[in-house]
Structure 1
Amino acid sequence: MAAARTRFGPVSEDGTPGSLHVEEFDIGYLIYAVFPQPADPSTPPSFGGSNLVISKIDGALAYLPNFPSETAIALYRRKFRPHA
């Protein structure tokens, strides 16, 4: 988790780090920031960001688009670990 924390900057309005969600799967850990609700509900939503995968095989880090978990994991399997 420490490796992931250094990759995600502050996301809240006061500059405190956001929560990180970790989802374990067979060959890695999918990590993404959970963005807090804005104090002003009329503020438009924030888009973008990325997912981070830490490989269980060698600890390598891979950045993926901010897709839903199942889609991001499938992309990781295809692109980064095609023979895993």
Structure 2
Amino acid sequence: MTQPHDPESSPSRPPTSAEEALDIARVEFQPRLPDGTPAPLRVHEFDLGFLVTGVFPPRTDRTAPSPQGGSHVVVSKATGKLGYVPNLPPEVAIDVYRKQYGPHA
């Protein structure tokens, strides 16, 4: 489910703010809008890290199939390393990360 990021390209220190987490995430996480332009990013802070998600416009054609797949990235507060979680609502993606990387994982 979640995939750890290559430690060789991870930062040497953990983020201390949402802005720092966003800077770290932007190096590897660059979702695109349907027209190919970069999607805006949103940060959700939680106890273990910062969940970074792409912000996409609402679908206007409900008859077309929904896009499948995708992921969000989490920047660890402890290490600054990146972890990928499925493209789920933020609360669910955070729960997936906690189960994979939390103290009892």
Sort the TM-score into its range (normalised by shorter chain).
0.7 to 0.9
- Structure holding more helix per residue: 2
Structure possessing the higher relative contact order (Cα contacts under 8 Å, 6 or more residues apart): 2
- Structure holding more strand per residue: 1
- How big is each residue's C-alpha offset from its partner over 1:28-55, in whole Å with a ceiling of 9 and x where there is no partner? 00011112357x8476442321010111
Counterpart in the other structure of 2:95: 74
TM-score, normalisation: structure 2: 0.64
Aligned-partner Cα distance in 2 for 1:10–1:72: 17
Aligned-partner Cα distance in 2 for 1:18–1:79: 27
Residue among 16, 22, 27 paired with 2:37: 16
- Alpha-carbon RMSD across the aligned residues, in angstroms, is 2.3
Aligned-partner Cα distance in 1 for 2:96–2:35: 34
Counterpart in the other structure of 2:53: 32
How many residues align? The count is 83
Structure 2: tracts of 5 or more residues without a match? 1-21
Identity across matched positions, percent? 47
Task: Indicate if the aligned counterparts of 2:31 and 2:54 stay in contact, CA closer than 8 A.
Answer: no
Counterpart in the other structure of 1:48: 69
TM-score, normalisation: structure 1: 0.77
Task: Indicate if the aligned counterparts of 2:43 and 2:52 stay in contact, CA closer than 8 A.
Answer: yes
Instruction: Give 4+ residue runs of structure 1 displaced > 6 Å after superposition.
Output: none
Structure 1: tracts of 5 or more residues without a match? none
